[in-house]
Amino acid sequence: MSGLFAAALRKSRRLSLPFVRSAKERRRAEEAAAAAEAASVLTLGCLVETPSIVFYDEPQRSTGALLSGEVSIDVHDAAVTVDRLDATLALHTVQKRPFQGHCAGCQTQVHDLARWCLVDQPCGFRRGRHQFPLSTHLSGTLPAALDTPVFSVAYRLKVDALVSRKDAPPIRYSLERLLPVNRSLPHRLYPLLATRVFPPTSIRARAECHAVIHPDVANKLSLHLDGLVSEPDKFHMVDLWKLRRLTWKLEETIRTTAPACPRHAPSARWISVDENGAFRKGLVRSETRVVGDKVLLDGWKANYADARGTVDVDLDFGTNKHVVAKPPATPSPRPYACDLSSAGTRITHALQLEMIVSKEFAPEGKLHKTTTTGVGRVLRMALDVVLTERPGVGVSWDLEAPPVYEEVSPSPPVYTSAACRPPPAPPVRSENAIVAGQRS
């Protein structure tokens, strides 16, 4: 009986499967028909005319960026009636490790930056394209768009339209677009220098590189080691430290405060979010990841004939080839984030250097006859660098010069020339005035 029951159950499942598929296909067909009907009436379009949205300099000194574009309506029918047409620019912050895991308010925070009411009452449009310009100014204190394992920041431009029909329910249209927003920090005047001594040995390391680096180029680093040869002892033997392996890592440290929504705020603690004494209720989330690394087994210049023994290394560092930034026109998530410092959020980068040296000894004056001792050391040092995007045109919107044309001089005309000078006023004669040469 059990075998017959199992066979009947399998048969019933096989019979019910086509009905489930037909229901899904029917629902998909209805959705496709509704989309085709909506597309046959009109099509929404959004064009961002700003070439790139870049905040220059630190948030405290940045003047922001300008955003300009237009919303278009392509009417396919003879005439349609648009009841309402709105456009909204919003900043979406998503906490991937929120204060409360299953709370939408703790997970997503939305802040409207600009809103345009393009059509606020029923208006008829004929067949063709109709354009509506829009523009706004973005404050320089806003963060750049990024995507990290802890949180993400995105700028979304959304367009909503409501079209009414006589013998049918109204049709709602919606169009959403992600905007790439970057920040570019200026280069510093002097390079970054770091020196470290590794006791109990006499080894000293000196590293030099640019303090501000870019993710899509190879950044230069110069490393100098000295003190690799010790003083001879009473047996005329010297110790040598030879560099065997050099590893560099570009580490990214993310620290943010996951805010609590009003519903869960009573059970949250106050967290300091900046140096000015501001507090916010939430939890601190942090993570460190490696965005670039490489291991070198050779490629340096060693000189042990010198009295102290030196090693010079010139290498390129940056993000790995598989995490190189895509063009700014594609707002896809990147496996790295640029430096950021705002209320409750801080992203920093550090270049970690790890050198493995082995100890050998040799007779004085015969350093080529070395003998290994089996003793090794791991030397580590770190350099704090700033990772930022390229400046692009390199000029903020408030410093751009107006266009100059061939027919127009670069400066206003001079109105004090002889040709444009007004004629002198006639002299004023007085009755009591004495004319020269006239006797009284």
Task: State pTM to two decimals.
Answer: 0.76
Give residues with Cβ within 8 angstroms of 361, minimum separation 6.
237, 238, 239, 240, 370, 371, 373
Give the tokens for residue 371: 């003998």
Q: What's the pLDDT score for residue 234?
A: 62
Average pLDDT, consecutive stretches of 10 residues, N- to C-terminus, the chain (440 residues):
59 50 64 60 87 87 90 87 92 91 89 93 89 92 91 93 83 90 88 91 92 90 90 75 93 91 84 67 89 92 83 90 46 75 88 92 75 87 92 71 66 60 59 46
Give the separation between CA 306 and CA 363, rounded to whole angstroms.
15
Give the separation between CA 110 and CA 281, rounded to whole angstroms.
17
Q: Classify strands 203-209 and 192-198 as parallel, antiparallel or unpaired.
A: antiparallel
Structural domains present in the chain:
29-184 (2.60.40.640), 191-324+335-387 (2.60.40)
Give the separation between CA 381 and CA 246, rounded to whole angstroms.
12
Give the tokens for residue 339: 């430096």
76-133 pLDDT, tens digit each: 888 888 999 999 999 999 999 998 888 888 999 999 999 999 998 998 888 889 999 9
Q: Classify strands 123-138 and 192-198 as parallel, antiparallel or unpaired.
A: unpaired
Q: What is the DSSP string of 383-410?
A: EEEEE----TT---GGGPPPP--SSS-S
Q: Classify strands 345-363 and 237-259 as parallel, antiparallel or unpaired.
A: antiparallel
